[in-house]
Structure 1
């Protein structure tokens, strides 16, 4: 299957739009001992939360936020371990469960901002682009299709190319594509993709316009 891709914009960001909402901040304020916050202004609630968070030790604060967001997926021991490791390492890039990277990124960046840089700073990449199927190529654009196309426009040293070479070449199923690309949004013929800078850094893209020929894995 062949596609043409035109990239309009590549941005490096430190936070994800709309990841945290007013209800999140109110619930977190309650967990940090600041109950009954009446404001409905998200910026004001965030400022209150940052003040409440800094009353705690860094690892204690990390554990509270991790527990709030990921207690359904991580046990107490895992949360305790991560709350300490986050101060030293970019956990949202290194954690073996790729499907947790997006959440870990936003948790890390919340703590990074609250503690004025005591946590590592991590970045994400947002790409605005057009993708056009040629002839009989699949018209429903999935994360797998986007990732396989973009892989051909990234440097050979790119992490996704190195780790998922067999999947990109359709020699294996590529279930990880849904986790490597955090979000894929469509507006008419325009698309916006969000992923970690770890998987696709702004400087790793080779061209603004390119063609890609890809295959999808088929079980025998």
Structure 2
């Protein structure tokens, strides 16, 4: 059953990369795929990253994209990786790819490849913002314990116009009882604080979904948890 909240949006900003999206281990694995992994384990982090970026830049752009996608998406077939690595140069896969659960990976792939090639690839567009949620009954806040991502996407959807892309593509999930795609819409979702009837969350997502909230300060919203407890 939907419950009502007051929602305040704060410290909204645009981002083109997610901090710490790439680790030393990621760079080592990328180098291994390129066959350049000998003697790198003891290398300083900054030097390892620079070597990885230069090694990617030594390749053709689509070949570098193939290396990055192979590392990120082991579940995709080699033929699909080949196709996507060619399509990436002209497309915006962090928005356009059919499976939104892969959007965050594409976003970080574009950020890395764009830096390695000083352009060529489109600049990824994301958003980071704070969400303060206030309930009239403390029990209503438990929906965020039951299915955090689904409940938050439904909540934020209330702040968008009815013709927003999120509504057009996922209205059945927003109004329904299952929203498995929610984790692909909210890339990072962190509970920052909880006090009385209020909770604060930090959100990282795509400008594609929530860019329109940039000029929104507050709104009344309804939300509900998934019926399944297996989402999170």
Common fold: TM-score over 0.5: yes
Q: What is the RMSD computed on CA atoms of the aligned residues?
A: 2.1
Measure, in 2, the Cα distance between the counterparts of 1:76 and 1:205.
39
The partner residue of 1:207 within 203, 216, 225 is 216
Structure 1's 76 and 3: CA in aligned 2 closer, same or farther, altered over 3 A? Answer: same
Return closer, same or farther for 1:57/1:166 CA change in 2, 3 Å cut-off: same
Deviates more, 1:25-34 or 1:5-14: 25-34
Structure number with higher helix proportion: 2
Post-superposition shift, 1:215? 4.2
Q: Structure 1: where are the runs of 5+ without partners? A: none
Q: How many correspondences in the alignment?
A: 215
Alignment check: 8 A CA contact 1:109 1:121 kept? yes
Asked if the contact 1:154/1:205 (under 8 Å) is kept, the reply is no
> TM-score under structure 2 normalisation?
0.84
Residue in structure 1 matched with residue 197 of structure 2 by the alignment: none
How much has 1:205 moved relative to structure 2? 4.4
Q: Is residue 65 from structure 1 mapped to residue 42 from structure 2 by the alignment?
A: no
SS at match of 1:4: strand
The answer to whether the 8 Å contact 1:10/1:128 transfers is yes
TM-aligned CA deviation for residue 217 of structure 1: 6.2
TM-score, structure 1 as length reference? 0.88
Structure 1's consecutive aligned runs of 4 or more residues displaced over 6 angstroms after TM superposition are none
SS in 1 for 2:184: helix
Structure 2: 5+ residue stretches without partners: 195-199
Give 2:44's match in structure 1, choosing from 40, 53, 61. 40
- Whole-angstrom CA distance in 2 between matches of 1:145 and 1:128: 16
Deviation at residue 30 of structure 1 after TM alignment: 3.2
